[in-house]
Amino acid sequence: MESRPPFPPPEEDTPFLRNPLVLGGLGLVAVLLVAAIAVVLLTPGDSGGDGASASTSRRTPTAVGTPTDGTPTEGVLARILDVVDVRAGPGERYPFLGTLRSGAPVRVTGRNQDGTWLQIVFPPGSLQRGWIQASAVEVQGDLASVPVATPEALELPEVPTPAFSETETVTPEATEPVETTTPEAGTTTTPVFEGEPPDVVVGIPVSVISDQVVVTAINQGVGEYRGSVTVDIYDQTGQTLLSSASAGIVALGPGARIDVPVPFSLGDEPQVVVVVIATDQPEADLNNNSATVTLPAR
């Protein structure tokens, strides 16, 4: 009988690093690591090199030029140094258009021949023009680049004032006493204007400050106005008096102005009213003492 060992011989142990499964796993990890490094190196960053060029090329261009709303962009910018009157031409005798407050920005689009008056966009943001004195603004640009402009409006006619010699004396022809009469108590006399007549008008636009409407009375005539000035505000029909205020007795030379604040409560919607300036002295034209304006909502 053949003898057999009591136990089968033990199998030889295979080294760990020579195991086919382990070697396959390590190879896969190495391939993935190399692929990851290649992706990182080849991907452009946010800054520098081609990445910066690609980022720049994707920016949205900004349009430059004339706005589509028609707002003028020619000329140079300037800032108002003090409250200034805006007129329809380069001179005090042109019609009054309005006022600009101190510090207000304006766009200068023209100038007169000697540069003492500047043409500006007025009202601001519109396509219309007005004129102000050059000394009232601080120009923020090259004024020499602004062209010489010609006003569209005509200036008021100048009425010559009679000149008298300082040494001239007048001898009255009549030597008899002149009888004078004294008005009875309770009666009033109508003032008689001597010289050239004034012409008081409503300055446009009117201003709204808090609960007051500020109306500007302007003497655009050639004579001085001395008398009372009262501002009345009526409804759109001109029949119902909404508010009134008086400036008292004033003296307005040619081109002079006075602001009269009138108490007024604004509504929830814009309101069309009629502004009337009442005077008690003769004027050159009594048909231009009123204006229809639209007051803003509160």
Give the residue from 104, 121, 145 where a domain finishes: 145
Tell me: do 216 and 141 sit in the same domain. Answer: no
Q: What per-residue confidence (pLDDT) applies to 49? A: 43
CATH of the domain at 116: 2.30.30.40
Burial class (CB in 10 A: 0-12, 13-18, 19+), 252: buried
- 47 located within any domain: no
Give the residue from 145, 165, 192 where a domain finishes: 145
Terminal-residue alpha carbon distance, the chain: 127
Q: Which of 39-43, 107-111, 138-142, 201-205 has the highest mean pLDDT?
A: 107-111
Q: How much is the mean pLDDT over the chain? A: 76
Residue 247 has pLDDT above 50, yes or no: yes
Return the higher-pLDDT residue of 4 and 260: 260
- 290 located within any domain: yes
Give the residue from 100, 123, 145 where a domain finishes: 145
CATH of the domain at 228: 2.60.40.10
Q: What per-residue confidence (pLDDT) applies to 44? A: 56
Q: What per-residue confidence (pLDDT) applies to 204? A: 82
CA proximity to 119, closest of 127, 104, 109: 109
- 23 located within any domain: no
- 189 located within any domain: no
Give the pLDDT confidence of 186-244 residue by residue, as tens digits. 554 444 445 688 999 998 888 888 788 999 999 988 888 888 899 999 998 888 999 99
Q: What per-residue confidence (pLDDT) applies to 35? A: 80
Give the pLDDT confidence of 118-149 residue by residue, as tens digits. 999 998 888 899 999 999 999 988 888 899 99
- 55 located within any domain: no
CB 245 within 8 A of CB 237: no
Q: How confident is the model at residue 80 (pLDDT cuts 50, 70, 90)?
A: very high
- 136 located within any domain: yes
- 108 located within any domain: yes
Instruction: Tell me what the mean pLDDT of segment 95-115 comes to.
Output: 92
Q: What per-residue confidence (pLDDT) applies to 119? A: 95
- 209 located within any domain: yes
Segments forming the whole domain that contains residue 105: 76-145
> Count of domains in the chain?
2
